[in-house]
Structure 1
């Protein structure tokens, strides 16, 4: 999940790429780690280790890719 945290940090350091986009919720259903959501809202990206929002896009992954 470190890679996702790095991605969120980069997105928040350069919000011009997401600030004019529609709000979105990306959900990752990870077989061994549970559910993770990336929420893009109001020009800010957040990472949650839960399923609190209704997802616009859901990816179901069964194993980690190295």
Structure 2
């Protein structure tokens, strides 16, 4: 999850701007929660999935 579209309930500003202490704390917490695939776009995830399927099909073809 990113904080690009989140709005702070304390100051009504985008959390990504970090205008108040609540925004900054939320932004910091979200940055620490990023996982392995957090930086990938949906298009990159689809490309990765297609590549994995292709590898699986090739491996299945060589195993037969």
TM-score, shorter chain, exceeding 0.5 = no
Q: TM-score, structure 2 length as denominator?
A: 0.25
Q: Which structure features the higher share of strand residues?
A: 1
Q: TM-score, structure 1 length as denominator?
A: 0.24
Structure with the larger RCO, 1 or 2 (CA within 8 Å, 6+ apart): 1
Larger Rg: 2
Q: Which structure features the higher share of helix residues?
A: 2
